Amino acid sequence: MPRSRYLSNTLGSKVASWLVGCEIRDSQSGFRLIRLERLRGVRLRSRCYEFEMELLIKLARRGCTIGHAPVRAVYHGGEARSKMRPVRDTVRICLWSLAFRS
């Protein structure tokens, strides 16, 4: 994983862990297993990378268990095939997360 992605993911996961009150190892993996009945009635406002964090915060507030499973990330030549801009998007995710917390 490119260094900038690693650092932004680590920061985002620490913020997520603090906000939900339990450990979140990878807040931006995008790989989730969620029971359908847990999603009913969850109103989501975000549209970009903030979506992952908003979903985690709202599910944790509803008392959902958050577990972890290893996921293998594949980077070809060390470059991510993503449009995420680590600094800009991490700051935006953290700011939005504070709004979702209330």
8 located within any domain = yes
18 located within any domain = yes
32 located within any domain = no
50 located within any domain = yes
Per-residue pLDDT at 94: 72
Residue 97 pLDDT > 60, yes or no?
Answer: yes
63 located within any domain = yes
| pTM of the shown model | 0.68
What residues contact 5, with CB distance under 8 A and at least 6 apart? Answer: 80, 82, 84, 86
In this structure, the number of other CB atoms found within 10 A of the CB of residue 11 comes to 17
Q: How is residue 22 annotated by DSSP?
A: S
Domain that holds residue 95: 3-23+43-101
Residue 74 pLDDT > 70, yes or no?
Answer: yes
Q: What is the maximum alpha-carbon separation in the chain?
A: 42
Q: How many domains does the chain have?
A: 1
Token pair 């944790």 is at which residue?
60
Q: What percent of the chain has pLDDT over 70?
A: 82
Any bridge partners for residue 32, and if so which?
Answer: none
Query: pLDDT tens-digit profile of 33-57?
Result: 888 999 999 998 887 777 888 888 8
29 located within any domain = no
Q: How is residue 76 annotated by DSSP?
A: B
User: What would the mean pLDDT of 61-85 be, rounded to a whole number?
Assistant: 74
35 located within any domain = no
Residue 78 pLDDT > 60, yes or no?
Answer: no
Residue 79 pLDDT > 70, yes or no?
Answer: no
28 located within any domain = no
